[in-house]
């Protein structure tokens, strides 16, 4: 009798879960962006969230939760109810850099999440305040070698892709400058725009408008080749052979999210990337639209961890 009751209860729960997955979504979905507003991840996230809302028939509400290099926001999603109503805009930081950078992680980048879709690959860019004397990467290198203790550069935080872009540049160019970490790209950008810090490695999307308006001077992009939206802007690799960094954005759900729900989120994300208006906006700041299956994103994360782990270790960056 007891076995029969247990079996019946389990069947009821399974049926309820299946029905819930089939009805998904019947209320707003929260997209957690693990960085402050104004940065590249925020720009891409809000653009995709708006289009996903139309596809899902429910609002996709953006929630910025910055801190600990993206770990706070990512951990919030990892611990959320796995029903698809709380999802993450993951990045190379949350899923490839932080596992090596931090001594203790509040989540596992592979087992704590259900991959949904890789969205875009984003170039970084080396920018300076317009009053800064260097107008090219070569001139910056010469300036830094002449006065190695004089200049500083801003980034979105210790161990972030932008910080590591700067450290890799210092190492490969044979120069030195002080690193000034911020709690996100947005606050760092404010101080560079005001002239408080003269140099910054930023994501190209968040600096594009300021570069075009003349509020920032771009010296080079961090990808191996020039960005399509700035064909006249050299790649840093043209002055420092072999130099290359970039970031990426992807959607993740908590581990244990029903496959049917993951499939609906994946379809909405990929449909959003196909929208001509979204593609045009992404092209404006040279974010390369990718799209993927959940399985492809899972493999991408594993490859990125293997790629970045030795680079993080070589940088000497380590956080508690």
Tens of pLDDT, residues 169-186: 998 999 999 999 998 888
CATH of the domain at 227: 3.40.190.10
Tens of pLDDT, residues 244-282: 888 899 999 999 999 999 999 999 999 999 999 999 988
Q: Is the dihedral angle over the CA atoms 85, 187, 71, 266 positive or is it negative?
A: positive
pLDDT at 27: 97
pLDDT at 139: 98
Query: Does any domain span residue 320?
Result: no
pLDDT per residue as tens, the chain (320 positions): 555 555 555 554 454 445 567 899 999 999 999 988 887 789 899 999 999 999 999 999 999 999 888 999 999 999 999 999 999 999 999 999 999 999 999 999 999 999 999 999 889 999 999 999 999 999 999 999 999 889 999 998 877 888 889 988 998 999 999 999 998 888 999 999 999 999 999 989 889 999 999 999 999 999 989 998 899 999 999 999 999 888 899 999 999 999 999 999 999 999 999 999 999 988 877 788 999 999 999 999 999 999 888 888 877 778 87
Query: Does any domain span residue 64?
Result: yes
Indicate the helix (H) or strand (E) that contains 38. Answer: none
pLDDT at 3: 54
Q: How far apart are CA 127 and CA 211, in angstroms?
A: 8
Q: How far apart are CA 48 and CA 94, in angstroms?
A: 19
Q: What is the DSSP annotation of 70-100?
A: GHHHHHHHHTS-SSSSEEEEEEHIIIIIHHH
CATH of the domain at 283: 3.40.190.150
The structural domain count of the chain equals: 2
User: What residues make up the domain containing 100?
Assistant: 17-121+248-315
pLDDT at 288: 84
At 124 the three-state DSSP class reads strand
Residues 147 and 286 in one domain: no
**Local structure of residue 68 (DSSP, 8 states):** G
pTM above 0.85, yes or no: no
pLDDT at 130: 97
Residues 105 and 72 in one domain: yes
Query: Does any domain span residue 281?
Result: yes
Query: Does any domain span residue 11?
Result: no
129's CB contacts (< 8 A; 6+ apart) are: 192, 193, 195, 198, 199, 216, 217
Residues 132 and 76 in one domain: no
Query: Does any domain span residue 61?
Result: yes
Domain boundary among 219, 238, 257: 238
Domain boundary among 238, 256, 286: 238
pLDDT at 195: 95
């Amino acid at each position: 009798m007891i076995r029969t009751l247990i079996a019946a209860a389990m069947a009821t729960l399974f049926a309820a879960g299946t029905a819930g997955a089939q009805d998904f979504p019947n209320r707003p979905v929260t997209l957690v962006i693990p960085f402050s507003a104004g940065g590249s991840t925020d720009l891409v996230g809000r653009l995709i969230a708006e289009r996903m809302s139309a596809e899902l028939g429910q609002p996709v509400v953006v929630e910025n939760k910055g801190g600990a290099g993206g770990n706070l926001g990512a951990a919030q999603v990892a611990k959320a109810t796995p029903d698809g109503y709380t999802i993450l805009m993951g990045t190379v930081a949350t899923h490839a850099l932080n596992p090596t950078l931090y001594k203790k992680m509040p989540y596992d980048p592979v087992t704590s999440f259900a991959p949904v879709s890789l969205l875009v690959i984003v170039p970084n860019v080396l920018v300076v305040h317009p009053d800064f004397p260097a107008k090219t990467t070569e001139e910056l290198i010469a300036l830094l070698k002449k006065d190695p203790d004089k200049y500083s550069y801003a980034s979105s935080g210790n161990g972030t892709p932008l910080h590591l872009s700067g450290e890799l540049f210092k190492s490969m160019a044979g120069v030195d400058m002080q690193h000034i970490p911020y709690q996100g790209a947005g606050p760092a950008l404010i101080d560079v725009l005001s002239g408080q810090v003269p140099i910054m490695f930023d994501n190209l999307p968040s600096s594009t408008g300021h570069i075009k308006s003349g509020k920032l001077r771009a010296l080079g992009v961090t990808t191996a080749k020039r960005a399509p939206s700035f064909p006249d802007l050299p790649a840093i690799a043209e002055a420092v052979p072999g130099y290359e960094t970039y970031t990426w954005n992807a959607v993740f759900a908590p581990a244990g999210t029903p496959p049917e729900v993951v499939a609906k989120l994946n379809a909405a994300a990929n449909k959003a990337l196909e929208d001509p208006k979204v593609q045009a906006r992404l092209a404006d700041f040279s974010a390369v639209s990718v799209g993927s299956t959940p399985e492809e994103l899972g493999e991408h994360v594993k490859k990125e961890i293997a790629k970045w782990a030795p680079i993080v270790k070589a940088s000497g960056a380590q956080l508690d």
